[in-house]
Structures are given as C-alpha cells and as structure tokens.
Structure 1
Amino acid sequence: MTENPQPGEEQSSAERAETGLTAKGPGAAEPVVTGRERQGMFGVHGTGDTSGYGGVRLPAYSPAPAERPYGGWFDQFADEFYAALAERKIPAEAILQTTVDRGEITFYVAREHLPAIAKTLRDDGGLRFELLSSVSGVDYGVDVPQRLHAVYHFTSLTYRRRIRLEVTLDVEDAHVPSLVETYPTADWQERETWDMFGIVFDGHPALTRILMPDDWDGHPQRKDYPLGGIPVEYKGAEIPPPDQRRSYS
C-alpha cells in the first residue's frame, strides 16, 4: 500500500484542520459556511434532481479553515507571502482566512486590499505570479452569508506554483475592484463573471455582457435564476422547466 501524497504534491488530498485563520474586529467578514459535500450525477445517493424543483437542498460545501503547518511548499510560500505584504504595508488582516483542500491552497482576502495583494503577487521577486489564469464566480445560494465569491487563480511560471484568492460578497453589494490594470488577462473573464453572476468589477474599462445579449435580464448562473420557461424568440418556442421535460430514454 502506497503512502498518500503530501499537501501541495500532485494528486494530493490535504488534511483539513478544525480551526484556522479568521477575521476579527470591526468589519470582519462572515465565515465561509461548511457542510456536507454534494453528491453528483453518476453514483448519486437518493435523488439525482439538482434542478431545485424536487426540493433538494444540501448545505454548501467549502473546506474548513486550515492552520499551520499546511504541508508541502505551502508554509514556505505563506511566510514569503506575508513578508511581502508587510513590506508593502498591507496588514496581515487583509487575509481573512486560509484553506487547504485537495492539494490546493486558497487565501480569502478583503476586497479593498485585492488590487494591492495582486500587485504584490506579480511584482515581488520571491513570489512572481506572472499569470492570472482565471477569474470566475460562485453562488453558494441564499442560505449562505456572503453567497457570491469572486475566485482568482494565479500561476507562477518561474516557481511552478499555483494559488487561489477568493473574495466573498453580499448580493446587495456585489462590488470588487477590477484587476485588469495589473493583469490584462482579467478583462474578458471579469466581463463573463459579471454577465453570469452579477459581480461588478469596479474600474473595469468596459464591463459589458460577453455571452448574453446586452439587454438580457438577470445573471444566468445565480442560484435564484429560473431554469426554464424562457421564450426563445427566434423559434417562437419555450424551454420547459426541468420537471416538465420529456424523457427520451
């Protein structure tokens, strides 16, 4: 029997501690809600209905906060990361929480510090995250505080490392600073995240829809967005809701 790989190594599944970094004091963000991991598609237990029409409601899944040691290269990176932030007078409280899960490390950051943290990741010689490879969104549903997450994947081509930053947002105040000025690759990805989730990237040079028509109402990947019954104008037809669709099997 082979030993399990360590966190940070390929195909690893990192251990999760019960407690970890949390924000304290005025303006502290709501904690990320954890729960049972969803069962998906093939091999599903119980019902396979994920449309919401069957009344299936599972807790949102997110890894629990981690505490030192993280394992692998994560601890060395965290030391260098916090040192670089301190050098630029970015408070340690800008990092609200850290998680380690499935061999990946995620830093939850306060949105007002996101641009400065991104510049630090890019410009510091010990970090050198030259590429922002992905900007995306997640909606954890109405039962989760700060249900909208803006998710950023950074890659260091020099040191062959990948990390993730996340910013948690309220639906009523879904604003986060744009990173286009620091990472031009964020341009269309921020537009798509706005289009699908309604997250507003303040300072973006042209935050318009990129997938849906300009006059489209709503953001299709929100959990509260209707899943069917939307008229298809060019065919004069209608997409039926999931509980009314025919089965062809």
Structure 2
Amino acid sequence: MSISPIAEPFYADARPIGPDGRRIGVLLSHGFTGCPASMVPWGRHLAGLGYAVAVPRLPGHGTSWQELNKCRWADWYGEIQRAFDKLTANCDQVVVGGLSMGGGLALRLAADRGRDVAGIVLVNPAVHTERKDVLALPVLQHVIPSLPGIANDIKKPGVEEHGYDRTPLKAARSMLAGWKQVRADLPKVTSPLLMFRSAEDHVVDPSSGQIILTSVSSRDLTERILEDSFHVATLDNDAPMIFEESAEFVRRVTGP
C-alpha cells in the first residue's frame, strides 16, 4: 500500500542542551484517521530548539481508510512503543504528546512506563465519548464498513489535515476498546501533564478532558483552554501558543 508523501513520519536528532550536554526527546502522536502532517509543524518547532523529535505514522494511516480498517489499537500502540524506545535509547529524558487518539496513546504509554516518561502534553485528547451512536458499533461494523469522516475540524481557513474522508468502523470499535483500558489505568499516570483543550471541538466532547483531569495521579497538572481553534488545534489559530507553551513545559520538566 503506497503512503501519501504528506503522511511521511518526521524524525529529528537531538542537540546537546545545557552545560551538562543533556539530550531530550519528544514523541508526538497524531490522531485516528489523521496522519503525521497534523503534528509535523509542532515537531519542527521543537526540533529547532534542539530536541530530538519523533512523529511516527500510525499503522493504516496515510494510505486508505480500507487499510486502516485492518488495523487495531495494539498496532497503533506498538508503533508508539517502538518510537519511544528509540528515543529513550538516545536521550536522557523523553516527553510524550498526542492529538486526539494520539493523546490516549500517550497516556497509555505514561501508565505503562511510569518514570521513564518525563512529561505528557495532550491536545484535545480522546479517551471517551458521550455519543450514543457508538453503542451500535459492535453490530454496525459487520453491516457497513465505514461512516462519514471526522477530519478537518479546523477553524482557520484554508488549512488541510490530510485525514480520511471516511471513518472505518472495525478500527473505530478497536479504538473504543483501547480507550476503556486507558481510562482504567489513568490513576497510574504520575508524570507532569499539560493539556490543551479547545473550547469548541466538533470531534471530541469535554468528557475526555474531565475524566483525565480527575483520574490521573499527576501532581503537576495544567489545563489550557484554546479559544480560537477547533479539534485539530495543532494546525489551527492557537498552534503558536501550543508550540511555545509546550516547549517551555518540556524545558521545565526535563531541567537538571
């Protein structure tokens, strides 16, 4: 299956930071039906500051929604784990972040890897939904392969997320099952956490943010409301704020 050029992953090596020459890594994960294009501008900003950056392409993304329908939560999480392991092998500390489902994957990693995760940055993370139509997914996934897509929820005119125009249902069902385990293990998350949440989001409802904030065990916990962006805030009007404040967060939590 050919990969769209816009969906290629992004990697950057670290430069030694500070008098002790520390190397800091940041792992960023895109969301469900999206691709690395939604995270690369953020990754380039952090790379410009000297951080090692990994923006992997999750399996089934950047190809076709039919290909994604063959993939499951374990495939996406496995890719995140591999990228994290590569960063930890070459860096002194690693911060993880994610958009939407990527945020759920980052939380899963933080729950599993504990102190190996120096910090977590989330943008409109998804771990739950109050939509009632998802209750039909166990049956509906066997009747029709997809529903209309959720991509391009962006307020800024002329910006393209490069996501799928269809939502594959078997893959979506697996994502919801993955969320259930993430929610159960949120109390295991102790890393410093910075969450950006859009005031108006047409993809992820506020329940995810509320569950995360009230369930994690992180003592260093900050929520920032984005007033001028929709769901894909990493490409929207508030992107500069996300880039700058996340860079300051990384600097702070990985300081000597």
Give the TM-score, by structure 2 length.
0.27
Q: Structure 1 length normalisation: TM-score?
A: 0.28
Higher relative contact order (CA 8 A, sep 6+): 2
Structure with the largest fraction of helix: 2
- Structure index of larger Rg: 1
